[in-house]
A and B are shown apart, each in its own frame.
Chain A
Amino acid sequence: MTESEMTFGSEQVRVFVPGRSLGFIGRFKELKQYKQFVIDQTRRKLQIRYNRSLLGWAWSLIHPLAILLIYTLVFGTILAGERNIVPNPDGLESFGHFLFSALVIWFVFQQVSTTAIGAFAESLMLRKRLYFPPTAPIIAGVVAGLVGNGVEIVVLLVAFLVVGSVSMTFLGLLFVVPLTAMFALGVGLVLAPLNARFRDVGHLYQVILRLAFFTTPIIYTADVVPETYAGVPLRRLLQLNPVSWMTEASRSLTFSQQWPNGEAWLVMSSAAVLSLCIGWYVFHRLVDDVVEGF
């Protein structure tokens, strides 16, 4: 089980033998060599995203605005009386601000993990004709998707600027967003090869995402969750979900304008790094067999 050298160069000898084609570090080096391919794939995905639509890129703006409007209407107006479900923020900020400040992070998580699964499945046909690192289409898809998330965050910023309550804490998103993306990428990397083998995984994941949306503090804050409910340590369970820490941190930075505490940063960073490492490992353990699967 020797690893093959993947360095380009006219005298370089590459060796192909049975077993795993490259080590985990080798896979990383290889990806770096295909940088241009990743960039081009990203550009392609961005270029064709709004093909054949009249409004084109305006859709990336309309989409988050519409969601902001709908959720504000549903939770802020129709359900506004349900005080124990929906918090009623003071001041100029609406429930929309409250909600969107956490929702943007949820969107990052959802987009990155879902795109990773889809982009890999999509790339398998081409992979039978052309060699490229299997993570390349995933990275390209995720980066292209993050551009859309960027627009959503700009919408969030503008929404807070309109009511005149923006502070330096907003910059904290520059850390929370990448950490969320890293965590989600790790999840996607584990699920992508499983989904390529059994498409049930992707469908099941969509169901789990729907459930996770409500078990993550997005439309509510973590502190309205009772410590224990019927003997179940609910609050503790909530904290086991790394995405809760991320949505809470985002809301704290934008809505409450407070820096999350050290514990929060520690949890988020460890979750992100651990998830990405596990994802990278599992993905490459499975990928060779999946690519050749019939």
Chain B
Amino acid sequence: MQNKMAEGLAINAQGVSKRYQLGTRAISLRNAVTGERGKRPIVDAVNKVTFSVAKGEVLGLIGRNGSGKSSLIRMIAGIYRPTEGMIQVRGRLTALVELGAGFDQQLSGRENIYMNASGHGLSRQETESSVGDIIEFAGIGRFIDFPMETYSTGMRARLGFAVATALNPDVLVADEITAVGDVRFADQCFNHFDYMSKKGTTVLLASHNLNRLSDVASRVLWLDNGEVRQIGPTQETIDAYRVFMRSTEEGKK
């Protein structure tokens, strides 16, 4: 029954929560022996979040630092399991939690393209046919055959983005990936999200870049303290968020 999903939806989250129990890494032998584990702090990063994204829609995800955006994205990507609730995703999903995650510093950019593509579930033939486009899109010139340790942060990000978008996913979720790189890179990213959604890809985009987000998003979800504060038309939600951020001291970054 859980495999049934309303037609026309790409992402469906029902009452999703994520609870972390912190401090397990710092567990001491004494704690382990005495079973004194209840004292570890508990964080409810995401709390009963319900929303859905229609096919081909671009949903913006906004909220303060620590509001649960990354946890939500990780759960949609299958990296973390929800503590509660259910998430359904239709079609092939690519998650960009960090651009170029898994790039090996000692390998060349070209070698890393193949590695990264297979990490996102692409077959060799699929990568083979798009490697030219990826290199062109990344625009890093002759550096493509140099070891990755010679790359700047921006170059790494551009290559990571180029690989991920070449995958042609049905659903793309991205977590604040435009923060690295220069203005032109951010432009390139947002333009590409727009282009992909026009081709039918569903995009879920967490970003602090409210101006650009308002250009591409069809709706915006505002998370606060792990809960849905507001979900609705782009401009309306972003405006409400701006007012909120100006009114709170903690909002200052």
Residues of A within 8 A of B (CB): 2, 4-5, 8-19, 21, 33-34, 36-37, 39-41, 44, 47-48, 51, 126-132, 197-198, 288, 291-294
Contacts and interface: CB of A to CB of B under 8 A. Distances in A.
Contacts of B51: none
Q: Which 6 A/B pairs are nearest by Cβ-Cβ distance?
A: A129-B101, A36-B118, A16-B87, A37-B118, A129-B97, A40-B118
A17 B122 CA distance: 25
A37 B81 contact: no
B52 interface: no
Nearest to A200: B29
B91 A12 contact: yes
Given A11-B90, A14-B93, 8 more contacts: A5-B3, A13-B3, A13-B5, A14-B90, A16-B76, A18-B83, A37-B118, A44-B115
A293 B27 CA distance: 11
A73 B228 CA distance: 72
17 contacts: A10-B91, A11-B90, A14-B88, A15-B88, A17-B81, A18-B81, A21-B78, A39-B118, A44-B104, A128-B74, A129-B79, A130-B79, A130-B101, A130-B102, A293-B25, A294-B20, A294-B21
B119 A37 contact: yes
Interface in B197-250: none
A4 B28 CA distance: 35
Contact of A8 (B20, B83, B88, B92): B92
B102 A129 contact: yes
Given A15-B3, A21-B81, A48-B104, A294 B86 contact: no
A14 B89 contact: yes
Interface in B113-128: 114-115, 118-124
A15 B86 contact: yes
B170 interface: yes
A19 to B, nearest CB: 7
B81 A44 contact: no
Contacts of A5: 3
A9 B123 CA distance: 13
A291 B106 CA distance: 26
Contacts of B251: none
Q: Would you call the interface of chain B mostly helix, strand, loop, or mixed?
A: loop
Contacts of B84: 18
Nearest to B22: A294
Interface residues of B, number: 51
A33 B120 CA distance: 11
B114 to A, nearest CB: 6
B66 interface: no
A9 to B, nearest CB: 7
Interface in B1-37: 2-5, 20-25, 27, 32
Contacts of B2: 2, 15, 17
A127 B5 CA distance: 28
B138 interface: no
A132 B79 CA distance: 8
A48 B106 contact: yes
Contacts of A48: 104, 106-107
Contacts of A127: 79
Interface in B54-77: 74-77
B78 A16 contact: yes
Contacts of A129: 79, 97-98, 101-102
Contacts of A15: 2-3, 86-88
Contacts of A16: 75-76, 78, 81-82, 86-89
A275 to B, nearest CB: 27
Contact of B24 (A9, A12, A291, A294): A294
Interface in B145-177: 170
B135 interface: no
A294 B92 CA distance: 29
Contact of B78 (A8, A12, A131, A292): A131
Nearest to A130: B101
A172 B16 CA distance: 55
Contact of A13 (B24, B76, B88, B119): B88
Contacts of B81: 16-19, 21, 288, 292
A18 to B, nearest CB: 6
B95 interface: yes
Nearest to A51: B106
A10 B114 contact: no
Contacts of A130: 79, 95, 97, 101-102, 119-120
Given A15-B3, A16-B75, A21-B81, A10 B92 contact: yes
A214 to B, nearest CB: 29
Nearest to B5: A13
Contacts of B97: 128-130
Contacts of B5: 13
B195 interface: no
Contacts of B88: 13-16
A54 B54 CA distance: 56
Contacts of A37: 118-119, 121
